[in-house]
Amino acid sequence: MYKVPGATGTIGGAGALAMTGADLVWWIAFGVVLLVAGLLLVHASRRRRRLSAKSVR
């Protein structure tokens, strides 16, 4: 079991928690990048549609 340096307590006791699970930082960053890319695509699509509607008139 991983023990945080400087933590006191016995192994398996009420001491520091073990470091478990996946590193989510990269997944969160990837999700934010996808969200920003989607927002940019929606903005570009709406702008193109608005400019197209103005040129038809």
CB 18 within 8 A of CB 4: no
Q: How far apart are CA 45 and CA 39, in angstroms?
A: 10
The pLDDT value recorded for residue 9 is 55
The pLDDT value recorded for residue 14 is 57
**Rounded-to-10 torsion of CA 11, 16, 19, 21:** 100
Secondary structure (H, E, C), 24-42: CHHHHHHHHHHHHHHHHHH
Q: Where are the domains of the chain?
A: 22-57
**DSSP letter assigned to residue 50:** H
The pLDDT value recorded for residue 24 is 85
Amino acid letter, residue 8: T
Per-residue pLDDT 10s for the chain (57 aa) are 566 676 665 555 556 666 677 788 899 999 999 999 999 999 999 999 988 888 876
